Amino acid sequence: MIQAWEQVQAQAKADQAIQASQLTDANPWLRMTQWADYLQGIQARDLLASMAAPEEDPMDATEQGVQVIWDTMEQVARKSQQMVQHCGQAIRVEAIRSEKGQTPHRPLLAYMDEAAIKKHVQPWQQILAFIARTQAPHDWTSPRYGMTARQRQKWRQLWQLASQAPGSQGSQAAVPGDLEAWAMTAIEKACLEFCIELLNQRHRSHEYESALVCAMAVLGQGEAGWRDPESYPPILSRVIKVARFMVVQKALWMDPNPWQIIQTWARKDQSAEWVLASADDQLREIDEGYGSNDPPSTPGAPSSPPSSIHSDDPLPAVHIRPSRRPFQEQVTWMMHQFMICGTHGPMETLLDWHTYGLKVHYNHTAPGHVTWMGEDQLLYQQMAFTMGDFQGFIHGLVTAAREILG
């Protein structure tokens, strides 16, 4: 009976248009996020439908594109996590930074299994599904949002690939068999580029200038109403973590020679040849005469090419394009440009919401879940048991623990 009543209430809320909040609203969480103001006049059921997972083998052309992007986003997250798993400590510490002067005490962790990665990537899939459905022609009142010129360009590229016939979204680059798991298809690259551009934005006067913030506001609408400080911060955590994975992925492909880095990861147990480089190829020797009055020599090419760590024969010289930063420097650059507090972009807004949501959650009394029925029956959420049942469970647990410990 109670569940039926809750379903009726949820349906009634979904059929109502969202009302703008007031300055005197007693809900500090909604005052902070301003979801009600941004989504005013829009049907809650339409918002829920815009974020829903696509059906299997849809007939509608738009939904077919949504399904392709939904599946592609999962692959991007998987490959991004795979790269983070192989990165060194310094890169993973930098990738979890949230403030400029902060020294993180633990690195970015990448240990999610099959079920966890599906759960963590779902908010990003919903964000892209919302954008796809609202960019295509539709017959419902949708939230207004804008895109930067770079975001529109990347979105057109992604949607064009997603709208192509199945199997024609581009193949992986021709790489040796043991490196195929690292290669990205054309549509995976386009998906990664667009997600990075959603992060790569600077607010001028308001947080809702960002398409990412607008989509996150839509994610704040749950089936039973607004998500609260207890249910929404976990969604933010997933979005932020996958975003950090993707920044590392993007930074790797911005390196002048990403495949050499990947080879050191994939073939480490096969004595892979590591290409090493000096920090300063122009560092002078002691005998060159520091303090002499000789004019400085014109900088030239390095005296010797980078050498292999496992061989006396030097590998071919690496031609590095000066405009590209090395992998680790690129991670630091991108984090400081749009991934930490003080950058006035969408990621700063998400970090602020996450911090404030946890503060509200831990400073307010949580609703109780334990009730009694009669004199001996205990109800906890969806479970019902007597104290005798509970004592038997504890005794059984102790017995099983003793058997395991020998």
Counting the structural domains of the chain, the total is: 2
Phi and psi of 110, rounded to 5°? -135, 80
pLDDT at 136 over 90: yes
User: pLDDT tier at 320 (50, 70, 90 boundaries)?
Assistant: very low
**Beta-sheet pairing, 221-222 with 225-226:** antiparallel
Say yes or no: 374 and 362 in one domain: no
Look at residue 178 in the predicted model and tell me its pLDDT. 73
The strands making up 377-380's β-sheet, listed across from edge to edge, are: 370-373, 377-380, 383-386
Mean pLDDT of 214-230: 94
Say yes or no: 359 and 384 in one domain: no
8 Å CB contact between 306 and 318:
yes
> Does residue 289 lie in a domain region?
no
Collapsing DSSP to helix, strand or coil, 162 comes out as helix
Q: Which of 7-16, 53-62, 136-145, 345-354 has the lowest mean pLDDT?
A: 7-16
Collapsing DSSP to helix, strand or coil, 169 comes out as coil
- In this predicted model, which residue has the larger pLDDT, 293 or 241? 241
Say yes or no: 45 and 87 in one domain: yes
Domain residues for 12?
Answer: 1-167+181-268+323-367
User: pLDDT tier at 287 (50, 70, 90 boundaries)?
Assistant: confident
Q: For 313, what's the count of Cα atoms within 13 Å in the CB-facing half-sphere?
A: 2
> Does residue 42 lie in a domain region?
yes
> Does residue 1 lie in a domain region?
yes
> Does residue 317 lie in a domain region?
no
Say yes or no: 242 and 256 in one domain: yes
How far apart are alpha carbons 201 and 146 in whole angstroms? 12
**pLDDT digit string (tens) for 238-277?**
999 999 999 999 999 999 999 999 988 887 655 445 667 7
Mean pLDDT of 335-350: 97
8 Å CB contact between 266 and 180:
no
How is 64-87 classified by DSSP, letter by letter? HHHHHHHHHHHHHHHHHHHHHHHS
Say yes or no: 356 and 400 in one domain: no
